[in-house]
Amino acid sequence: MCFISLLVTGCSRHKQAGVNTPPPPPISRPEPQTEAPPTKSEATPEQPAEPAETIPVPSNARAIYEETGIASWYGAPYHNRRGSNGEIYNMHAMTAAHRTLPLGSVVRVTNLKTGRSAVVRITDRGPFIKGRMLDLSLAAAKAVDVWGPGLAKVHMEVLQTPASLDSGGRWAVQIGAFEGEKAANDVADHLSHRYHTAKVLRFSSVIGSWWVRVRVQDDDRHRAEEIAHDTHTPEGSIFLVRLD
């Protein structure tokens, strides 16, 4: 395949956001914070009024898919903002973000170092940092000993899914993060001219970074995979993302 070289003006190093980046914000959304969002070490979120929910899972539930990788967590900057499933993200609920599992999937996450495990529901998309598999809510991160170190190697077992893992779905390509709007615009303009049938969006996250999302015709997975494979950028990373 022919590889695309996207020459982006600006910083040539990779920039990686510290927390999960959601999809383009909806038209109706909470007003952005007027102060710079706290880092994970600075954040002092209020404690939940009640213990985190317990997600019921049949005692005989068996894994239909398994994956091992690095888990991180995201909290205060995204708390009370709309997630990828359309619901308001609650960092005190037992949820997580994954790039390609169907939204609503139920998974068991086990910290391979400590053995602590918890069952969570996939409600959001991320993490959009290369090398990471899962972004946990604050409650889930505390339950599996990820909150303290910030990162941990975990084993994920998919127990329930509302849709097939092997077929269907709506797919897109997400590129970023970019330090400035101009870099994102340059990439978006290039892709718009390259792929005439695709819808190219650019948007900023709540922490100020910029992103580009490519919606291929019919949200076809194979076409999205081709674009993800053929696209290169000197700033940010390229991710295949399931939208549903």
- What's the domain range around 136? 65-160
**Do 72 and 152 fall into the same domain?**
yes
Q: Flag whether pLDDT at 239 surpasses 60.
A: yes
pLDDT class of 26 with cuts at 50, 70, 90 = very low
Please report whether residue 138 resides in a domain: yes
pLDDT class of 52 with cuts at 50, 70, 90 = low
pTM: 0.80
Q: Which residue(s) pair with 71 in the sheet?
A: 134, 152
Q: Flag whether pLDDT at 6 surpasses 50.
A: no
In angstroms, the CA 104 to CA 158 distance is 11
Q: Which residue(s) pair with 175 in the sheet?
A: 212, 238
Q: What is the CATH number of the domain that holds 196?
A: 3.30.70
**Do 89 and 127 fall into the same domain?**
yes
Q: Flag whether pLDDT at 3 surpasses 80.
A: no
Quote the pLDDT of residue 151.
98
Q: Flag whether pLDDT at 13 surpasses 60.
A: no
CA angle 223, 129, 34 (to 5 degrees): 110
Q: Flag whether pLDDT at 12 surpasses 60.
A: no
Q: What is the pLDDT of residues 98-115, one digit of tens each?
A: 999 999 999 999 999 999
